[in-house]
Structure 1
Amino acid sequence: MSLVREFREFAVKGNVIDLAVGVIIGAAFGKIVDSLVSDVIMPIVGLVFGKLDFSNLFLVLGEAPAGTAMTLDALRKAGVPVLAYGSFLTIVVNFIILAFIIFMMVKQVNRLKREEPAAAPAAPAPTPEDIVLLREIRDSLKKG
């Protein structure tokens, strides 16, 4: 029974729950970034480079059976080896954007966590003139 108890204690610790929430939010965030890349950024990049559709950029590495359409999906279904470098480019752009967003988030969190430097101690207040005069009188009496 101690194994079950240990597992329960492990599973309900804050770190495990925080990790689970992070994974779920990360997966959802990844889908948002994937959509941003494939539905917004890559079409603009394709337009700039002459209406290229990066998702259909590929290199056929084998013989395609007769009558097979020369599309990426058709070649994959026919079992023809295909180097789909357009999909790879899209995923690389996706990764770069996601990594940059995570970098900016970590940078912001670190900035918020940084403690502000301790304030310099206040300069001592100037000694009032009457105190200065009394000290001078005292010192002159000690000498004389």
Structure 2
Amino acid sequence: MSVIKEFREFAIKGNVIDLAVGVIIGGAFGKIVDSVVADLIMPVVGLVFGKLDFSNLYLVLGQVPAGTVDTLEGLRKAGVPVFAYGHFITVAVNFLILAFIIFMMVKQINRLKRETPVEAPPAPAPAPTAEDILLLREIRDSLKK
């Protein structure tokens, strides 16, 4: 079997197609969730807790040349090594909020998908066989005596 035939069989398997569809839908869903977090959740969080932006927290690791603007962007433009831990904190907090939102959405979707199990009707009694009928007649006749 040629490599092309093997690849074709692999590519048209249901698993590969399902995975491709999942990746595409996942990308679109990610944009929706990003928008929910950025446009709906973070403004409320910012209102309640103040602006949650740690991106300007950093430690200078080298010498700062004279005349350099003392901001993270200014230090980076000047080539000064900085330990920018604030951006990591902001991304981590955003991730936690995003993960919680996704968890709540999946939880609600699963709740909606659950259906109450329908009880199966009881199985009908099997039809009596000829032997069963003979035994019942024998019992009936023995009770008549």
Report the TM-score, using the length of structure 2 for normalisation: 0.59
Q: Within 2, Cα distance between the matches of 1:114 and 1:76?
A: 56
Aligned CA RMSD, in angstroms, stands at 4.0
Q: 1:141 to 1:15 in 2, by over 3 A?
A: closer
Q: Within 2, Cα distance between the matches of 1:32 and 1:111?
A: 20
Residue 61 of structure 2: aligned partner: 62
Per-residue CA distance 1:55-91 (angstroms, 9 max, x = gap): 5342223244333333333333333323242x33443
Kept after mapping to 1: 8 A contact 2:37/2:98: no
Residue 142 of structure 1: aligned partner: 143
Give the ranges of 4+ consecutive aligned residues of structure 1 lying more than 4 Å apart after TM superposition: 106-115, 138-141
Corresponding residue pairs, total: 130
2:73 alignment partner, SS class: helix
Q: Which runs of 5+ in 2 are unaligned?
A: 126-138
Pairing of 1:1-144 with structure 2 (within 5 A): 2-50=2-50, 52-54=51-53, 56-63=55-62, 64-79=64-79, 80-85=81-86, 87-100=87-100, 101=102, 104-105=105-106, 108=109, 112=113, 116=117, 118-119=119-120, 121=122, 142-144=143-145
Report the TM-score, using the length of structure 1 for normalisation: 0.60
Q: Sequence identity, in percent? A: 52
